């Protein structure tokens, strides 16, 4: 039978931002409830070696890091619920959120930490080699391709920025773009064209990511190249590379919040300067759901901490004041 759950702090989403918010909220004795969503752990669940999260001298696995964060949040008193929020009402307090299970969650405050997902090419070979040479985060994985030739797919600011960053590690970066010009800012393009390590392949789309190995013991899976097709001539060829970075944008998981909190033209939740507060008092947003610049686990965790501290202070000032949601 569907039931109703009430909490002082409802955390929607379970990644670095959500888990950190849960840890801080629980330690503040707010007894938070976390609705984990369909993929607890977020993008780190499809990340293999993590070398840039502080506190670990040796590489760690993304899923392991998320498992540890979940255990820590539970240990300090967070209640975990495996459900998916499908509708929210932020027009009055307590806030009301509906779950796919049929359950209802009411809350005095809400922290949105549903994250974002990389926009992928949508080809089967991409999935086969994701985490084994295919990545959507140059900052996360560029280090593993030191001295190797790699490819970047895309033509916007993200693609150009990732290509420039990757020249710090790779011996050569091939940028593959389906058009004959970039959409990136002119200053970024100028930097790219001046870099001797970068080659651009115009008017081309990736048909297949080529690789070897089946992932079994002694036969590791890895990328060896990309098969591209020229959209004008139809000519196909294989470009030898050891890694492929897909940089065609990210999609924030904010569909259920559209029209309920302020979002920008790309769907990211807008927050007050130097804050995680949305335009709805008592509702906060942390992590990649509001961050389109850094998109790192450590920055998401930092924002989760901010959201919990802000929620605690907000509750202390406004608890017991059932007023309609308004603006900052």
Closest CA to 23 of 113, 147, 99: 113
Given 3-state DSSP classes, what are the helix, strand and coil percentages for the chain, each rounded to the nearest 5?
30, 30, 40
CATH code (residue 263): 3.50.50.60
Indicate whether 157 belongs to any domain: yes
pLDDT (0 to 100) of residue 319 = 67
Q: How far apart are CA 58 and CA 56, in angstroms?
A: 6
Which range marks the domain in which residue 31 is found?
Answer: 4-117+250-317
User: Catalytic: which of 108, 137, 288, 305?
Assistant: 137
Question: Structural domain tally of the chain?
Answer: 2
Indicate whether 86 belongs to any domain: yes
Tokens of 31: 């007894």
Residues 153 and 94 reside in one and the same domain: no
103: which residues sit within 8 A by CB, 6+ positions away?
Answer: 2, 3, 4, 5, 81, 83
Q: How far apart are CA 249 and CA 158, in angstroms?
A: 7
Indicate whether 283 belongs to any domain: yes
Q: How far apart are CA 21 and CA 218, in angstroms?
A: 41
Residues 237 and 157 reside in one and the same domain: yes
pLDDT (0 to 100) of residue 107 = 97
| Contact (CB, 8 A) for 13 and 41 | no
Question: Exposed, middle or buried, 186 (CB in 10 Å: 0-12/13-18/19+)?
Answer: exposed
| Contact (CB, 8 A) for 11 and 20 | no
Using N-to-C axis directions, what is the helix angle for 16-27 and 297-318, rounded to 10°? 40
* Domain-terminating residue out of 247, 274, 290: 247
Q: How far apart are CA 12 and CA 231, in angstroms?
A: 42
Indicate whether 259 belongs to any domain: yes
pLDDT (0 to 100) of residue 322 = 55
97 is catalytic: no
Q: C-alpha angle 77/269/14, rounded to 5°?
A: 30
137 is catalytic: yes
**Helix count (H) and strand count (E) of the chain?**
7, 19
Indicate whether 273 belongs to any domain: yes
Quote the DSSP letter at residue 149.
E
Tokens of 270: 């807008």
Tokens of 113: 């930490």
Tokens of 318: 């406004």
pLDDT (0 to 100) of residue 321 = 62
Q: How far apart are CA 170 and CA 163, in angstroms?
A: 10
The pTM of this model reads: 0.78
Residues 72 and 180 reside in one and the same domain: no
Quote the DSSP letter at residue 170.
-
* Domain-terminating residue out of 214, 247, 280: 247
Query: Reading across the β-sheet that carries 222-230, which strands appear in turn?
Result: 204-212, 222-230, 236-240
List phi, psi (to 5°) of 108. Answer: -75, -30
User: Catalytic: which of 83, 108, 140, 291?
Assistant: 140
pLDDT string in tens for the chain (328-residue length):
789 999 999 999 999 999 999 999 999 999 999 999 988 888 888 676 788 899 999 989 889 999 999 999 999 999 999 999 999 999 999 999 999 999 999 999 999 999 998 889 999 999 999 989 999 888 889 999 999 999 999 998 889 989 999 999 999 999 999 999 998 889 999 999 999 999 999 999 999 999 999 888 888 899 999 999 999 999 999 999 999 999 998 899 999 999 999 999 999 999 999 999 999 999 999 999 999 888 899 999 999 999 999 999 999 998 666 554 444 3
Task: Please count the residues of the chain.
Answer: 328
Residues 151 and 201 reside in one and the same domain: yes
* Domain-terminating residue out of 247, 276, 293: 247
User: Catalytic: which of 83, 141, 288, 291?
Assistant: 141
pLDDT (0 to 100) of residue 1 = 79
Q: How far apart are CA 3 and CA 22, in angstroms?
A: 22
Residues 230 and 255 reside in one and the same domain: no
Residue appearing with tokens 């560029």: 142
pLDDT (0 to 100) of residue 210 = 97
pLDDT (0 to 100) of residue 9 = 98
């Amino acid at each position: 039978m569907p039931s109703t759950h009430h909490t002082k702090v409802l955390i929607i989403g379970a990644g670095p931002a959500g888990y950190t918010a849960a840890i801080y909220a629980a330690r503040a004795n707010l007894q938070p409830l976390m609705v984990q969503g369909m993929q607890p752990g977020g993008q780190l669940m499809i990340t293999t070696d993590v070398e840039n999260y502080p506190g670990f001298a040796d590489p760690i696995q993304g899923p392991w890091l998320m498992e540890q964060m979940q255990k820590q949040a539970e240990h300090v008193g967070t209640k975990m619920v495996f459900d998916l929020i499908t509708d929210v009402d932020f027009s009055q307090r307590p806030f009301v959120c509906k779950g796919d299970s049929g359950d209802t969650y009411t809350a005095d405050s809400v922290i949105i930490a549903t994250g974002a997902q990389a926009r992928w090419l949508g080809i089967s070979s991409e999935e086969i080699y994701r985490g084994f040479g295919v990545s959507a985060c140059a900052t996360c994985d560029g280090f593993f391709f030191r001295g190797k030739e790699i490819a970047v797919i895309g033509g916007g600011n993200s693609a150009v920025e990732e290509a420039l960053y990757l020249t710090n590690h790779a011996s050569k970066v091939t940028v593959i773009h389906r058009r004959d010009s970039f959409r990136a800012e002119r200053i970024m393009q100028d930097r790219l064209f001046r870099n001797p390590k970068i080659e651009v392949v115009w008017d081309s789309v990736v048909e297949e990511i080529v690789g070897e190995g089946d992932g079994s013991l002694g036969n590791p899976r890895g990328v060896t190249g990309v098969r591209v097709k020229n959209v004008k001539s139809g000519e196909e060829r294989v470009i030898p590379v050891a890694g492929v970075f897909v940089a065609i944008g990210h999609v924030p998981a904010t569909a259920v919040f559209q029209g309920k909190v302020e979002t920008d033209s790309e769907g990211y939740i807008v927050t007050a300067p130097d804050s995680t507060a949305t335009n709805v008092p008592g509702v906060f947003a942390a992590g990649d759901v509001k961050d389109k610049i850094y998109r790192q686990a450590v920055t998401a965790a930092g924002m989760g901490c901010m959201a919990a501290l802000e929620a605690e202070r907000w509750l202390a000032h406004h608890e017991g004041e059932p007023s309609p949601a308004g603006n900052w």
